[in-house]
Amino acid sequence: MLILIKENAQQMSLEAAQQVASQIKLKPDSVIGFATGSTPLAMYKELIKMHKEDGLDFSKITSFNLDEYVELPPSHPESYHYFMWENLFKHININPSNVHIPMGMAGNIDAFCDWYEEKIKSYGGIDLQILGIGGNGHIAFNEPGSSLGSRTRIKTLGLKTRLDNSRFFSNLDEVPKYAITMGVGTIMEAKKLLLLANGINKADAIKATVEGPIMAKYPATIVQLHRYATIIIDNEAASKLEGEYIDK
């Protein structure tokens, strides 16, 4: 793993955007795995800026999102379909036919998950997978206890995850109890991983991910085994690390 510690969330986001841009410039038809949530928002703003001001070209990339709530229609303001189009896709020149986001309204979710796995394979796999991390160490919606070899599937969301996400809804009861998520095994097959975290509330999860033993209790710890994993964090998220890492 390469651990980059930045002064604040804005610097973290700029570094992350530069790495995504480098991947696209290196391979214009890259397959990019996107994440949602508050952590990547500033990075997406930087990518939009690079597109509009520097001509960063997204026209040939293919995207696959990590997850989506079950039974939220794409038009719902808290669906990840809505999130991605509002915060990134409608501001860049991505080809809509190359956008793939799990369909939470699928009639047969198991069949959809199998299709999603095969679709990723049909594009030769994901070149760069962007990840956030939950306070309990989850990646995507792979909650603590998830199999480290798991594939895209439906998952029951834990109470902590639902509480964390309740800030986006009117109350906890409105937060969906299920989600479709790429599995840990699916994520680990990406050629490169880019994990982002900021804030003191992520310090324990980052400590476990970077310096703890690999265990299903903290699914993010599996990234220790990835050949090309980069973790970009701010000073607060890095505050409990004991080792010496790159302050770039």
Residue 247 annotated among the catalytic residues of the structure: no
Choice among 51, 65, 136, 142 that is catalytic: 136
DSSP 8-state secondary structure symbol assigned to residue 237:
T
pLDDT digit string, tens, across residues 100-131: 999 999 999 999 999 999 999 999 999 999 99
Choice among 117, 138, 164, 234 that is catalytic: 138
For residue 148, the model assigns a pLDDT of: 93
245 pLDDT higher than 90: no
Measured distance CA(47)–CA(57) in Å, rounded? 10
Asked if residue 4 lies in contact with residue 248, where contact means CB atoms within 8 angstroms, the answer is yes
State the CB neighbour count (10 A cutoff) for residue 2: 12
pLDDT digit string, tens, across residues 5-24: 999 999 999 999 999 999 99
- Is residue 231 exposed (0-12), middle (13-18) or buried (19+ Cβ within 10 Å)? buried
pLDDT digit string, tens, across residues 29-45: 999 999 999 999 999 99
State the CB neighbour count (10 A cutoff) for residue 96: 8
Q: Could you tell me the pTM of the whole model?
A: 0.95
For residue 248, the model assigns a pLDDT of: 62
For domain 2-234, which CATH number applies: 3.50.50.60, 3.30.413.10, 3.40.50.1370, 3.40.50.1360? 3.40.50.1360
Residue 136 annotated among the catalytic residues of the structure: yes
Residue 143 annotated among the catalytic residues of the structure: yes
The maximal CA–CA distance of the chain, rounded, in angstroms, is 49
Measured distance CA(67)–CA(74) in Å, rounded? 12
Residue 7 annotated among the catalytic residues of the structure: no
Radius of gyration over every alpha carbon of the chain, rounded to an integer in angstroms: 17
Residue type for 51, please? H
Choice among 127, 143, 234, 236 that is catalytic: 143
Choice among 46, 67, 68, 236 that is catalytic: 67
